[in-house]
Amino acid sequence: MESVIPKPVQRTGDTPAQPDRRKSPGQPRPGRVGAGLRYLVLSAHDYRSPRKANIHFIARELARRGETRFFSLRYSLLSRRTGDPRLSLDREANRVGVLDGVECYLWKTPIHPFNTRRPDLRKLEEWMFRGYVALASRVLKRWLSEADVVVFESGVSPVFFDLAKRLNPRARTIYIASDDLDTIEVADYVKGAFRRAAPKMDTIRIPSRTLVERMPSKDNLVLVPHGIDHKLAGAEEPSPYRDALNAVSVGSMLFDPGFFAEASHRFPNVHFHIIGCGQPHHPSYGPNVTVYDEMPHEDTVRYIRHADIGIAPYRSEAVPAYLADTSMKLIQYDFFGVPAVCPHAVVGGYASRFGYKPGDGVSVEQAINQALKAPRGASRQHLNWSEVTNRILAPADFDDTRISP
């Protein structure tokens, strides 16, 4: 697959460039892949959210190469009913903000389209999505027309592909497959939009080989795993723990409180720390369980680094296989050499992970015992986010991005 890094689009009426005095994570350096381009990221995340996903770190790296904008989709008055993690940014909605040199826009509408999960309402879903695109924000249209590279993250963003090509046919288009669309249960209209757009995109990036067969286009497919900030390894932060043995769980995805109801009573000598699960302290937990609200990424890292074991308490064995390669908490546990406990389905090829069957207390106990006895150490090397972004922007320059037949 050929990598093409476009030249910045010359726009009629552009004024001479002025020095950018906004705080930036780094000025584009000569020779850096994709330097000097204008980037636009479309996502259902917001760059300013305290909870960080892979798209946040990719956007940060893009901002080190050129002007970067982050447009946040699928947010409305309905979001209060779903506990949307962007609610803390509600006051910032519908106005441009800047964080670390990235221009941000949280587009809030009266309602947003969604999956009704009812076949008899498919026409209504189609009407909602078509209207969402037809009434696209003026900011989105302007940002699309000015971008050299448009990055679509998996989710609702593919419905704007045709609009992007109509407004800016020269822009390069990249799809970031953070999740399989069936797994995150997007509406059929979104799946159809992606199927139509996929062959026309310049690059489709998948972070796990298990996603190959889930992609509707193969010729433009590249494999680039998630990364991690290697600087975290050198930051000697004091341990937040006071007990001798500590286990940590981070995040809310498919969170299973039943795991800790079992584990806390089977291991009274282990203190279980649950960070950002989005649920209150469960009455079945033992006294050795502490539940924390979501905290800044840098603070969360301290809990991971100094933990004796890390836990990914997914509530079902029927989790997608690609989570073995894409779960950020599992990647972070491995990077810091922390033995991990997780369902068998997401152990993957990682020697540092110990599997259990959700809902089976004996299986949970065995996995925790194995993890507590395991030596610390990473199972594999992990790319940093600059290396990840280089591969996304210029996949042909790296042999490891190729999808073997």
189 and 103 in a common domain: yes
335 and 264 in a common domain: yes
60 and 143 in a common domain: yes
Q: What is the DSSP pairing of strand 102-109 with strand 97-99?
A: antiparallel
366 and 264 in a common domain: yes
* 60: its two tokens: 């940060």
195 and 143 in a common domain: yes
**298 found inside a domain:** yes
* 329: its two tokens: 């908490």
**24 found inside a domain:** no
53 and 200 in a common domain: yes
308 and 239 in a common domain: yes
Q: What is the pLDDT, as a whole number, of residue 6?
A: 52
189 and 54 in a common domain: yes
**33 found inside a domain:** no
CATH number at residue 145: 3.40.50.11010
pLDDT in tens, the chain (405 residues): 444 445 444 443 333 333 333 344 444 444 578 999 999 999 999 999 987 889 999 999 999 999 999 999 999 999 999 889 899 999 999 999 999 999 999 999 999 999 999 999 999 999 999 999 999 999 999 999 999 999 999 999 999 999 999 999 999 999 999 999 998 899 999 999 999 999 999 999 999 999 999 999 999 999 999 999 988 777 778 999 998 999 999 998 889 999 999 999 999 999 999 999 989 999 999 999 999 998 888 889 999 999 999 999 998 878 888 999 999 999 999 999 999 999 999 999 899 999 999 999 999 999 999 999 999 999 989 999 999 999 999 999 999 999 866
Q: What is the C-alpha to C-alpha distance for residues 93 and 111, in angstroms, rounded to an integer?
A: 14
* Active-site amino acid positions: 179
**93 found inside a domain:** yes
Task: Supply the range of the domain harboring residue 337.
Answer: 231-373
Concatenated DSSP letters of 44-104: SS-TT-SS--HHHHHHHHHHTTS-EEEEEEEEETTHHHHT-GGGGGGGGTTS-EEETTEEE
Q: What Cα–Cα distance (Å) separates residue 83 from each residue in 87, 145, 263, 384, 400?
A: 7, 32, 28, 31, 39
How does DSSP classify residue 234? G
**34 found inside a domain:** no
Tally of domains in the chain: 2
Task: State the pTM of this model.
Answer: 0.86
